[in-house]
Amino acid sequence: MKAILKTHNARPHYYLSHERVFNFERCPRRYYYSYVLFAPPDFTPYYLYLGKIIHKILAYIECTGEPFKPFLLDLLFQFEFQEEDEIKKVYDLSLSLISNWRRWRSERDEEEIKGLERPFQILTNNGTLFKGRIDRVSYQPENQLWVISDYKTGSSKIPRKDIANNLQLNLYAFALSNQEPNIANLRVELIYLRDNDVRGADIHLPNLAEVEARIESEKEEIIKGTEYPPRSGWYCKICRFKTRCSLNETPDKDSIFSLKSLAEDDSSDKRAAAAFALGNSRMKLVTWALVHALRTDESNKVRREAARALGKLADEWTLSFLVKTMAYEPLTEEGLLALELIADRCSHRRRSVRTIKLRQEFSATGNESNIKELDHEPED
């Protein structure tokens, strides 16, 4: 296994994460909406906000030691809740979880904190990139033990017997062993904050060599997929894409191939070609993927091609969506190009609709002279 990536230029375009793997295994259709089509969700359930808030708050408390309630209130109003009572629900739950965490933390005062929200990148020998972030890394000097702690805010739990083989925790362990090569003893643990249930396992370091094969296996399964069938289960009721899924909107096979190439191909030339093909597809459904490429792709060529494609496809709705999405980002040259092309297309469309309506009115009244003037009306 290679060391943690050091340079931006060496980074492959496509990467895996625990969240991506989890979504694909639970429901390929949800993975498709999230990471191929990049469609906005129908809604975001409050418990997802709860998880993000708690992780930020706990890191804040450990880093600063300052009162957390002002920071909590500030975080609450950064999210768009579906119902007004959800804000109070998340606030009350947050206080309860933080109280439980303080009791757990009081028993770990002798530990040295080695990282909070600690990022990592794993690059396999086959060039697969896996990215993630570890909630908490600590060290117990008395027994030379490193501990990886992952906070859970939900009520569902992983069986204790499965902790040692859990992919997420093994990835964290492998990443840390790359970052800290002198680790002698390592333990992973899940902290279920609703009841302070701690489920952990000691990691046998030589076994971590198997993680690379697991990463490659997950990537192969995801990359070869082209169908993305929905996988029904209890989670369908709370899925963020349940309305879209019920409509069963799917592009043709050629468009899916281009969408996958734009999202997953490491070649910037192939991603640019995919953006060009999507621009000619005349399918509004692909505009989210093009907007995502315009905003996040590291290649100028791909971003520019995505801008041109949006200029061919977009309408007033896309223009509004793009402006809202990019409102708090630096305006790039490619972003400006997209906005100009879309605005021009929208203006031309409005002129065309106006011309058609006037022609129909003049024809109905028999006013031939006005029709001739309309035919010679200059473009703006």
Lowest mean pLDDT among 90-99, 302-311, 312-321, 365-374: 365-374
Distance, CA of 272 to CA of 328 (rounded, Å):
25
Q: How confident is the model at residue 7 (pLDDT cuts 50, 70, 90)?
A: very low
- Which residue did the predictor score with more confidence, 212 or 162? 162
- Asked whether residue 27 carries a pLDDT value surpassing 50, the answer given is yes
What tokens appear for 70 in the block?
């002002």
Q: How confident is the model at residue 369 (pLDDT cuts 50, 70, 90)?
A: low
Burial of residue 41 (number of CB atoms within 10 Å: 0-12, 13-18, 19+):
middle
**pLDDT value of position 364:** 64
**Range with the largest mean pLDDT of 24-33, 80-89, 228-237, 240-249:** 24-33
Q: What is the mean pLDDT of residues 168-182?
A: 92
**pLDDT value of position 370:** 54
**pLDDT value of position 366:** 62
User: Do the Cβ atoms of 81 and 87 come closer than 8 Å?
Assistant: yes
Q: What is the mean pLDDT of residues 142-162?
A: 94
**pLDDT value of position 208:** 87
- Asked whether residue 164 carries a pLDDT value surpassing 90, the answer given is yes
**pLDDT value of position 54:** 96
User: Do the Cβ atoms of 299 and 259 come closer than 8 Å?
Assistant: no
Mind listing the pLDDT tens digit for each residue in 85-115? 999 999 999 999 999 999 999 999 889 999 9
Question: How high is the mean pLDDT of the chain?
Answer: 85
User: Do the Cβ atoms of 298 and 129 come closer than 8 Å?
Assistant: no
- Asked whether residue 133 carries a pLDDT value surpassing 50, the answer given is yes
**pLDDT value of position 166:** 92
Distance, CA of 199 to CA of 1 (rounded, Å):
28
Residues in the chain: 380
- Domains with residue ranges and CATH for the chain: 15-218 (3.90.320.10), 251-365 (1.25.10.10)
**pLDDT value of position 99:** 96
- Which residue did the predictor score with more confidence, 322 or 214? 214
Neighbours of 375 (CB within 10 A): 9
User: Do the Cβ atoms of 194 and 103 come closer than 8 Å?
Assistant: no
User: Which residues touch 31 (CB under 8 Å, ≥6 apart)?
Assistant: 20, 23, 24, 222, 228
**pLDDT value of position 238:** 85
- Asked whether residue 210 carries a pLDDT value surpassing 80, the answer given is yes
**pLDDT value of position 112:** 95
**pLDDT value of position 353:** 46
User: Do the Cβ atoms of 268 and 13 come closer than 8 Å?
Assistant: yes
Q: What is the mean pLDDT of residues 17-43?
A: 92
Q: What 3-state class would DSSP assign to 43?
A: coil
Q: What is the mean pLDDT of residues 72-86?
A: 88
Kindly report the pTM of this predicted structure: 0.81
The DSSP result for 258-324, as a single string, is HHHHHHH-S-HHHHHHHHHHHHTTT-GGGHHHHHHHHHH-S-HHHHHHHHHHHHHH--HHHHHHHHH
Amino acid at 199: R
